[in-house]
Structure 1
């Protein structure tokens, strides 16, 4: 009887080993919630928006647990991903980031980068090179594609800060000439921001880029990029991302805390 039992015991051991190999601890998703309707924090301190909702939906469909990490600025999220403390971010692709992040192939959504300026100090800009004569504002860690990043590195005069609130305050006070920002986020921010009535946006689209699931190369999740792509493609094709964008925009207007006066 013992010999007959051995094949069964071996099969059970192999099955257990396979399950153990596939099992993952909770995955750490890092968010910097200052980009409504993509990611924002409501009055109760809950992180809302399309990005965290998509992360929970995709990982949930794969049977994976997720733990959200919120840090003080976007650069810290990227640094923690590079140094092994974070598994996943939602980000734009760039050559620098590809050194430590494995990007999916399926874009979660497309973004337009626009220029915000003070109506009393209009910009004469019809192409990227025209920005060389102006001083701009960006957040720490922001990247808007290889062409824009290369221009800023070579010829752009920019000041980087930790928050949109601070950035728009500098624009109002005349300390910078423009802010490069996602169009839909910037337009939503200035709807509710005290003192921002004088801020306008150029119709020019400075750049177009896509947000992707980006997995730290150290993470066990990097082995499942194909699974992530399949679920992201399903979300987009179903129309849920566009529906979540509309819902998040409406919820932000109702439920986000009112911003303080601009500094």
Structure 2
């Protein structure tokens, strides 16, 4: 850290230059840090590195780590532990380095071999989807980043938060024990939302409705906004109203579609939330559940 409290100018190494790594590398370079190396194997990663990290040498992972002050590990979750062990085994990591990974589901425990060498370890998980293109840099200004450091290591927490602020994002502390639940919640909300939206679009398109995305776009945008603003009070529709007649019609027309099981599970969950919020009386909620089961 310098006298202003920001991380000093760092030599940054990116392993690997995928959608996340290339964008975060560009974000760090934009703040004055210097990306000194990146690993990239696929043609897509090589192209991203060329576009977002121009002039940065392409090296193997040990070569990247050996020359960096800050090593950013932006690899898939299942590869992370093996990568860390490999970098330690090749003497590519050293005391005083900052080792950061971007996995949402894991905290700093997976970086323990690096911490044992005297490295400062962090988990920085941007809560956004990445395209691997320059527009991601703009989108980061509205994003939060889940920050995890070792319990009690306030210096590490401060470094992580400072790096996030430098990248124009908002840091949110996520303690190590809740990291898997934190990531499950994000995946449930974001990934399953996409599945839900595309199922709705497919039903409409299959029924002959033209430009289904344009039809439901405003509805979905308003529903998301209302849910974030008003919580369960934003629940609407036949389940939240206890309209079992309409619910039966839905079940009938969906009987030949593969989305029916998902519809029934979500409808029951909606009934539970509506009852808990006082929108449905207990007997009406039970009527809805019975209709779904029948």
Please state which structure has a larger fraction of its residues in strand.
1
TM tier relative to shorter chain: under 0.3
Please state which structure has a larger fraction of its residues in helix.
2
* TM-score, scaled to structure 2: 0.24
Higher relative contact order (CA 8 A, sep 6+): 1
Q: Which has the larger radius of gyration?
A: 2
